[in-house]
Amino acid sequence: MDGSGDERPRHRLRCMIDVEMPDAAIYARLARRWFDAGFAVLAPGQRAALETGPKLPPEAIRRPMQCGPPGATWGFVSVSRDFPTGRIVSGLPTFKRKASNRVWTARSWKWFLEQLADPPNDATLGTAHLDETGYPDEPRIRMTVWTDKWAPDWLRVAFAAPESDLSDPGCQEAWLAFIRETAENLNPAFGIIDYEYDGLCSEAAAEFLIRDGYMSHERVPRSRQQLRGYDWLTICPQELADRLGGTDALRATGAFHEVAQLSGGGVWLRATADYRDFDNAALYCVFRALAPVLPPGMPLRFPGREDYYRIVYEDAASIMFPE
């Protein structure tokens, strides 16, 4: 990251945690807590507004129409499941998707949480404010629990929210406490807070910019073999943390404000105490500390968009360490 461009991502941050798919009962507990507790942490005012505000027309989710009174809070929940068709296209199986989307109400919220007993491929909660015409403006939050149909043995929990939220130190701590409580006993294979480059189900910057011959759905199953990215908050799987020497060695690098062993496995790495202090120098320190387990190769450059991706434009394999 060298500052030669001035275009930034959408000013939205994403948190994602990847782990092997648990059984249905554990999945349901994890997913319900993710949505319920996360909604309260990430958008407490919007949750209260939905619970106490005006009734929103349920048909607005299915056809273009005014979604409610201007200035009101609007929300939706959706659940989708993918069913194999038996056909192969370009070497990959194809699927038919069955989806159900509902405007947020107390009733649809109850339905949504009940749907998690039978793990869907994608469960999503989203909120927004209604503009002066009564239509949703920029999203406030998105939360998902997602399984790639081509990698069904893996699960992602993720959310996206405005970067401006982290201008408040209290909000930073609320985010971190929620994420830490989720990750503590999960034994994550990977976790990160980074920019929402291309949605909640997309790749981290290093995955996208370092071409290694793997397709996106092939990289997640390799999470315990190679660290897929790095940022202000990185959750390093235990297997890779051990290769780096464990928590003591990671603290000794000086790259992290916080290094903590997670109870169920994995190491929690926060680069700076305050998100607002996470600059290019701090990013480079994180990159250097984690280089031995990062994917080798020089990240691709897109002229004029170097600052779009929060990444160090160096080959991790070129970093030399003293014997």
Does the structure show a pLDDT above 50 at 226? Answer: yes
State the pLDDT at residue 10: 57
Percent of the chain's residues with pLDDT above 70: 96
Q: Which region holds residue 149: left if phi is over 0, alpha if psi is between -120 and 50, else beta?
A: alpha
For residue 15, the cross-strand partners are: 159, 193
* Tokens matching residue 184: 């503590």
Phi and psi dihedrals of 259, rounded to 5?
-125, 120
Mean pLDDT of 200-217: 89
pTM of the model as a whole: 0.94
Please tell me the number of Cα atoms within 13 Å of 10 on its side-chain side: 14
Which stretches of 226-314 are DSSP H helices?
A: 238-243, 246-252, 280-290
Residue 322 pLDDT level (bands cut at 50, 70, 90): low
Mean pLDDT of the chain: 93
What is the rounded CA–CA span in Å between residue 229 and residue 157? Answer: 16
DSSP secondary structure string for all residues of 166-232: GGSHHHHHHHHHHHHHHHTTT--SEEEEEE-SS-TTS--HHHHHS--S--HHHHGGGTTTS----SS
Does the structure show a pLDDT above 60 at 180? Answer: yes
CA distances from 271 to 88, 177, 214, 224, 287 (A): 44, 16, 28, 21, 10
CA distances from 211 to 176, 207, 288 (A): 31, 7, 20
Boundaries of every domain in the chain: 1-21+147-323, 49-139
User: Tens of pLDDT along 16-66?
Assistant: 999 999 999 999 999 999 999 999 999 999 999 999 999 999 999 888 899
Residue 3 pLDDT level (bands cut at 50, 70, 90): very low
State the pLDDT at residue 216: 80
